[in-house]
Chains A and B, each alone.
Chain A
Amino acid sequence: AQSVAQPEDQVNVAEGNPLTVKCTYSVSGNPYLFWYVQYPNRGLQFLLKYITGDNLVKGSYGFEAEFNKSQTSFHLKKPSALVSDSALYFCAVRDPDTGRRALTFGSGTRLQVQP
């Protein structure tokens, strides 16, 4: 079975400071990992994904994520947070070995960036 955990319900950071939103995963094989962001009363927007290759993945709006196989983690990062980054962030995983052709989402982390 595939699963993903986001251990923090909320992350608070001051504008201009670096931010990290944590994600750990569990799959039987090599995972496909995704980050999405959701603004209030909106759908999910794709930020970035890791399939294979470089462990550091760069995505939209200055976000990046680092795939760490030994720690089974895929933390989302940004060097300098903006107030407009405040939103709900979801990590998601797909395990290609299971043949399950759908994403499993983490519980979500609310990011609050203070001015």
Chain B
Amino acid sequence: DTEVTQTPKHLVMGMTNKKSLKCEQHMGHRAMYWYKQKAKKPPELMFVYSYEKLSINESVPSRFSPECPNSSLLNLHLHALQPEDSALYLCASSQGFTSGVSTDTQYFGPGTRLTVL
């Protein structure tokens, strides 16, 4: 089973709202990722967690706050977003990293379509 699930599928929020995106995998993967994808563009990396620790933050604004409560779950907390933050937010997971390098494959969830009004 190579399934990554994401909830909700769609989210509409105002600029003053606080909301969260959720991602879950039960493949025993120890690396999890958040990507942002605008229409007709490639995914852009936002955050990487390795063994529940944040290992990459691609200079993402603080209105996006990731959280990895355990090895199966990844959240993205949203607060005071801007309309330009409207996009498809993709979660992915992979087996994890050994001493420095990972060759493993990232498996993506279906995404959450976020609209900020």
Contacts and interface: CB of A to CB of B under 8 A. Distances in A.
Interface residues of A, number: 24
A16 B5 CA distance: 34
Given A102-B45, A108-B41, A43 B109 contact: yes
A11 interface: no
Contacts of B110: 42-43
Contact of B50 (A43, A90, A101): A101
Interface residues of B, number: 30
A105 B42 contact: yes
Interface in B55-91: 55-56, 88, 90
A101 B55 contact: yes
A46 B113 contact: no
Nearest to A102: B45
B113 A41 contact: yes
Contacts of A34: 105-106
B108 A45 contact: yes
Interface of A: 32, 34, 36, 41-46, 49, 51, 88, 90, 94, 96, 99-103, 105-108
